[in-house]
Structure 1
Amino acid sequence: MSLTQSLQSFKSRNYRLFFSGQSLSMIGSLMTETTCAWLVSSQTESVTLLGLIGFLSQVPNLIVSPLAGIWIEQFNRRNILIATQFIMMILSLALAIFAFTGIISIWQIICASILQGLLSSVEIPARYAFIMDIIENKEDITNATALHSSLLSGSRIIAPAIAGIIIASLSPAHCFLIDGISYITIITALLAIKVNKLTMVHRNYQNNIWQNLKEGFTYAYYFLPIRSILLLIALLSFLGMPYLRIMPVFAIQILQGDSTTLGFLTGASGLGALCGGIYLSSQTNLVRLGKIIAFAPAIFGTALITFSLSRSFWLSLMIVPIIGCSYILEYSSSNSVLQIISDDEKRGRLMSIYNMSVMGIIPFGNLFISGLASIFNATNALIFGGLSCILGSIIFYKMLPKIENLLHPIYVSKGILDE
């Protein structure tokens, strides 16, 4: 794997601008997320309230995302991104002012989290679709998506550490302020990006928004490759990813550790995700992506079961990166394939449904797996989740030849593969 091949998307001026602006903004956003969690925990010592805020911030991805897909196709995507980033900046600066003046309260954090969730439910699918707009060579879309996933994974490792240092040495208000300022980089980058088609509108939309919404879901459901990929990623989001929610149970109760143990385990998961993104950035074979989508959930499920049965900190520390790596392989590969095969006039809605299948499903999965853990215990809950992911992988693998046959003409028509 050569470095040039892994960074081939950076040949695009537009992508370089987007990536550089997004990197600082994403770290800032995750610093605010960490700071809000710290303030809620330190002021209330309520795990329930902390979980509720996380739930409320993610639920809009399930409710609003499908509608956002219609707006993304009807309006200028760059303007949508600039508008959402600007409002997020105002929210972060408002939190900074509240914190500096000492009047910040839990209800303000809750309101800000809900608003951030609403904005993210529009911004995330718009960002996915916009990446496709600014990549001149569509063969680089896998690389671009993987690098973007690596950026997110790397930010999740770096941002909490930076936030912790700033909170300890300065104050939570400074974290909010830095986040607010960081949005300037992505807004500036978006303004500097040059695209030929600022608005991806290819037909006259019907006035009935529900008809447009129905058309998007019908398109996703009746095309086997899209339906299969979305269902598989939703399965991982619902029964697999909630392992992060009950990770403290394993770190403290099962492995007999403390907050440092939890930090090592979550950091190792993020490091594995980062490595998975870097590996995927070197992949150019679209047929291989289909196999990655098929096998990654099985690896994820097997690692999850092994982790749940482990009673050794060092074994757990070696297994967790595999969980993070396999998930990001599934997440990014699915994103890339969906971006490439989708019709231009339906890409916004498809990316919104994809976002709903990932971010919108996770909070409900957190509730389900947490409830399962409280009834049967955390080990059995993760074993159930792992077995479900393996089963989903087997079903998808059996359908893979048919899926590949359906996708091959699309790849050929788009000039990505030869006859």
Structure 2
Amino acid sequence: MRRWAGGTFAALAAPNYRRYFAGQAVSLVGTWMQTVAQGWLVLELTGSGTALGAVAAAQFLPILLLGPYGGLLADRLDKRRLLIATQAAFAAIALSLGLLTVTGVVQVWMVGALALALGMVTAVDNPARQSFVNEMVGPERLRNAVSLNSVLVNSARAVGPAVAGVLIAVLGTGIPFLINAASYAAVIAALAGMDVAALQRGPRAAREPGQVRQGLAYVARTPQLLVPLLMLAVVGTLAYEFSVVLPLLAAGPFGGGAGTYGLLTSAMGAGAIVGGLVVAGHGRTGLHALTVAAAAFGGAILLTAMAPSLGVALLALTVVGGTSVAFLAVGNTTLQLAAAPAFRGRVMALWTVAFLGSTPLGAPLIGAISEHVSPRGGLVVGGLACLVAAALGALALGRERAGAGDPAPRPA
């Protein structure tokens, strides 16, 4: 049991990571509360799946357009200070949305505008946060730390949406936004209180022209980075649109409200906790592991699409949660370990673009399919996208093996 605990929670031996982990444990619950509240607010204001997709697209469009520049900032600047600034900006956005909602003046265009601002901050925050993990724990504990981050995110997913559903039903949609604004104080305090001397900082990128293009060229000539990023792009575009599909699934086929939506999201979070712990203690990295995870994720989504009742859907979504966190943790760690330190921020920015920045393309499409065909149809498209990504990985693995088996050329 001691060996299992030491392997599964090894990254928590680093004091800076413990502080960060504790701060995130508070903040992420608020983040998931806001995610549920924002989707439900748009549904209350419009009743439209297309509007849900449009707001999601507004939130993630800046990541698609500005993500590589956010990665360059992460490579150039002090990541800890940069993260303190982004957390403060997130808090201001959540506070604004909460005040607009509780005062009853909120309109859907305001939600879209604040979602756009949220995306602009995320374009800077995400690559800095992803690459900062390596500074806190070092490469030997990176996979473990990434997996524990996934466990934390999905533990919050299990708690935050359920709490948000109750708060929305009892106190109104604006309260989760206000609670989320306050929750950022925990992670800001954790970042401010770190032992800076213990951080394992890599070299910063010097200021020179063409650095974004340098990062793109580096990825393009490195198959160990390019293939996982392509897989993440396919899955991120069409499969990770749960904020669009699940509200419609709750209100449509299962005839529920905000509480049902919270249950569906919490079921995914509960499954992801188990999946994340398994990956933290026993997970592997590399293209083969990523391919297996993509295939399992796609199969789980298709099972959810066929669920005949709410109870079966909740069970299927726990499997979706477990396979989803495995796919993300393996992809994240594979990229960070394969990337040169000087390019890590820009590589993780492309991870953010592939995973989140693709939402402006996928969210309106999945929203329209879910509204005009059925939410189950939106899930089917996502499940098939995962299987396509798995096929891309299998094809690349086959080429690697064929190349490894080629005979050496004979000397002339």
Using structure 1 for the length normalisation, give the TM-score: 0.84
Residues 37-73 of structure 1: CA deviation (Å, up to 9, x unaligned)? 4444434545443332222111111111111111111
- For residues 60 and 278 of structure 2, the distance between their equivalents in structure 1, rounded to whole angstroms, comes to 28
Which has the larger displacement, 138-147 or 27-36? 27-36
- Of 30, 33, 40, 1:31 maps to 33
- For residues 202 and 43 of structure 1, the distance between their equivalents in structure 2, rounded to whole angstroms, comes to 46
CA 1:95–1:398: 2 relative to 1, 3 Å: closer
SS in 2 for 1:281: helix
- Give the superposition deviation at 1:18: 0.6
Unaligned runs of 5+ in 2: 404-412
- For residues 166 and 293 of structure 2, the distance between their equivalents in structure 1, rounded to whole angstroms, comes to 35
- Of 80, 83, 101, 1:81 maps to 83
- For residues 40 and 316 of structure 2, the distance between their equivalents in structure 1, rounded to whole angstroms, comes to 28
Matches within 5 A, 1:171-320: 172-196=173-197, 200-206=202-208, 208=209, 211-242=210-241, 245-247=244-246, 250-251=249-250, 253=252, 255-259=253-257, 262-283=261-282, 285-286=284-285, 289-320=286-317
- Of 339, 343, 348, 1:342 maps to 339
Residues 183-206 of structure 1: CA deviation (Å, up to 9, x unaligned)? 221111111112346864445331
CA-based RMSD of the aligned residues comes to: 3.0
Matches within 5 A, 1:118-137: 118-136=120-138
- For residues 34 and 251 of structure 1, the distance between their equivalents in structure 2, rounded to whole angstroms, comes to 12
- For residues 50 and 386 of structure 1, the distance between their equivalents in structure 2, rounded to whole angstroms, comes to 20
8 Å CA contact 2:76–2:206 kept in 1: the answer is no
Residues 160-208 of structure 1: CA deviation (Å, up to 9, x unaligned)? 22233334444555433332222221111111112346864445331x2
Aligned partner letter, 2:87: Q
CA 1:388–1:205: 2 relative to 1, 3 Å: same
CA 1:49–1:378: 2 relative to 1, 3 Å: closer
- For residues 373 and 173 of structure 1, the distance between their equivalents in structure 2, rounded to whole angstroms, comes to 26
Aligned partner letter, 1:295: V
Query: Could you say which residue in structure 1 is the equivalent of 2:156?
Result: 155
Aligned partner letter, 2:133: I
8 Å CA contact 1:74–1:199 kept in 2: the answer is no
- For residues 405 and 3 of structure 1, the distance between their equivalents in structure 2, rounded to whole angstroms, comes to 40
- For residues 272 and 111 of structure 1, the distance between their equivalents in structure 2, rounded to whole angstroms, comes to 33
Aligned partner letter, 1:144: A
SS in 1 for 2:352: helix
Using structure 2 for the length normalisation, give the TM-score: 0.86
Unaligned runs of 5+ in 1: 407-419
Residues 303-348 of structure 1: CA deviation (Å, up to 9, x unaligned)? 2333333434444333222222212111111101111121111001
- Give the superposition deviation at 1:219: 1.1
8 Å CA contact 1:73–1:346 kept in 2: the answer is yes
SS in 1 for 2:195: coil
CA 1:272–1:405: 2 relative to 1, 3 Å: farther
Query: Could you say which residue in structure 1 is the equivalent of 2:6?
Result: 4
8 Å CA contact 1:246–1:370 kept in 2: the answer is yes
- Give the superposition deviation at 1:92: 2.9
CA 1:79–1:113: 2 relative to 1, 3 Å: same
Residues 278-298 of structure 1: CA deviation (Å, up to 9, x unaligned)? 211113654xx5432120111
Residues 337-361 of structure 1: CA deviation (Å, up to 9, x unaligned)? 1111211110010000000000011
Aligned partner letter, 1:323: V
8 Å CA contact 1:139–1:284 kept in 2: the answer is no
CA 1:315–1:182: 2 relative to 1, 3 Å: closer
Matches within 5 A, 1:307-386: 307-372=304-369, 382-386=379-383
- For residues 267 and 82 of structure 2, the distance between their equivalents in structure 1, rounded to whole angstroms, comes to 35
- For residues 80 and 363 of structure 2, the distance between their equivalents in structure 1, rounded to whole angstroms, comes to 33
- Give the superposition deviation at 1:111: 2.6
Which has the larger displacement, 381-390 or 138-147? 381-390
Query: Could you say which residue in structure 1 is the equivalent of 2:112?
Result: 110
Aligned partner letter, 1:73: D
- For residues 379 and 168 of structure 1, the distance between their equivalents in structure 2, rounded to whole angstroms, comes to 26
Which has the larger displacement, 195-204 or 340-349? 195-204
- For residues 39 and 370 of structure 1, the distance between their equivalents in structure 2, rounded to whole angstroms, comes to 16
Aligned partner letter, 2:299: T
- For residues 388 and 184 of structure 2, the distance between their equivalents in structure 1, rounded to whole angstroms, comes to 42
- For residues 223 and 400 of structure 1, the distance between their equivalents in structure 2, rounded to whole angstroms, comes to 14
Query: Could you say which residue in structure 2 is the equivalent of 1:412?
Result: none
Which has the larger displacement, 12-21 or 154-163? 154-163
Aligned partner letter, 1:238: T
CA 1:190–1:54: 2 relative to 1, 3 Å: same
Aligned partner letter, 2:86: T
Give the % identical residues. 27
CA 1:140–1:315: 2 relative to 1, 3 Å: same
8 Å CA contact 1:290–1:404 kept in 2: the answer is no
8 Å CA contact 1:292–1:329 kept in 2: the answer is no
- For residues 44 and 129 of structure 1, the distance between their equivalents in structure 2, rounded to whole angstroms, comes to 38
SS in 1 for 2:281: coil
CA 1:76–1:291: 2 relative to 1, 3 Å: same
